[in-house]
Amino acid sequence: MNPVIQRRVQLGLLVVGVTITFMALTLIAGCFKNDSTIEASKATVMAEVVSVDSLHAAVNFQTPDGSFHSPRFGLLYPTELSEGQRISVDYAVYNPDLARPTGRTAVLSIIPALSVMVGAWLVVGLLMVAVAEFSRRWARRDDSGATTDDATTDDEGSDDATTDDEGGDERDTAERDTAGRDAAERDETVSPGSP
């Protein structure tokens, strides 16, 4: 894998990890802000749980002034509740949409948020290691392919050199034969005139 592409992929993974971390920290900060708003003008009443799912619990309650309220986003920290249950809730007098079961605080948001952050960074870390390993293997494969090509080129070059050597040997032999014939002809030319 191209090192530039590898860096971009790993940078993208880091951005994902940082984004998830930021979101989790924002969630924790938001929970503490909601708690401080409730604490600033807290009132406590009995409420009836009208619906529950894994992330949401809707309740109805009546405030001392006789108004009925059902928080738009449900209760804060809605775990371990069941439909029809009557519970005590704390709410902000100036904003009854902010309500939580009595005794529950933003501290309950820390463990889930940290779990999400740790899980996200584990996944990001594993993916970064996988990308680096893939890139390393890809580079090794390219290097072995280049080495094989170089070896093939060297073999072809040595074959050419061998052919050149063989051609040179044949030329040397032909030149020696020609030189030998020339010498023999000179000897014959000299022989008839000699006594």
What CATH number is given to the structural domain containing 98? Answer: 2.40.50
User: Residue 136: its pLDDT value, please?
Assistant: 87
Q: Could you give the C-alpha distances from 132 to 7, 100, 122, in angstroms and in order?
A: 9, 46, 15
User: Residue 195: its pLDDT value, please?
Assistant: 45
User: Residue 170: its pLDDT value, please?
Assistant: 62
Residue 61 lies in a domain: yes
Residue with tokens 């044949």: 170
Count of domains for the chain? 1
Phi/psi at 108 (5° precision): -65, -20
User: Residue 144: its pLDDT value, please?
Assistant: 76
User: Residue 141: its pLDDT value, please?
Assistant: 82
Residue 14 lies in a domain: no
Residue 62 lies in a domain: yes
Residue 6 lies in a domain: no
Q: Could you give the C-alpha distances from 140 to 10, 50, 137, in angstroms and in order?
A: 20, 62, 5
Q: CA nearest 93: which of 50, 61, 51?
A: 61
Q: CA nearest 38: which of 92, 75, 88, 100?
A: 92
Residue 74 lies in a domain: yes
Residue 145 lies in a domain: no
Q: CA nearest 13: which of 122, 128, 126, 131?
A: 128
Residue 93 lies in a domain: yes
pLDDT digits (tens, 9 = 90+) for 34-75: 999 999 999 999 999 999 988 889 999 999 888 899 999 889
Ranges in the chain, pLDDT < 70? 1, 145-195
- pTM score above 0.85: no
Residue span of the structural domain in which 58 resides = 41-105
Amino acid at 81: L
Confirm if 69 and 96 have CB atoms less than 8 A apart. yes
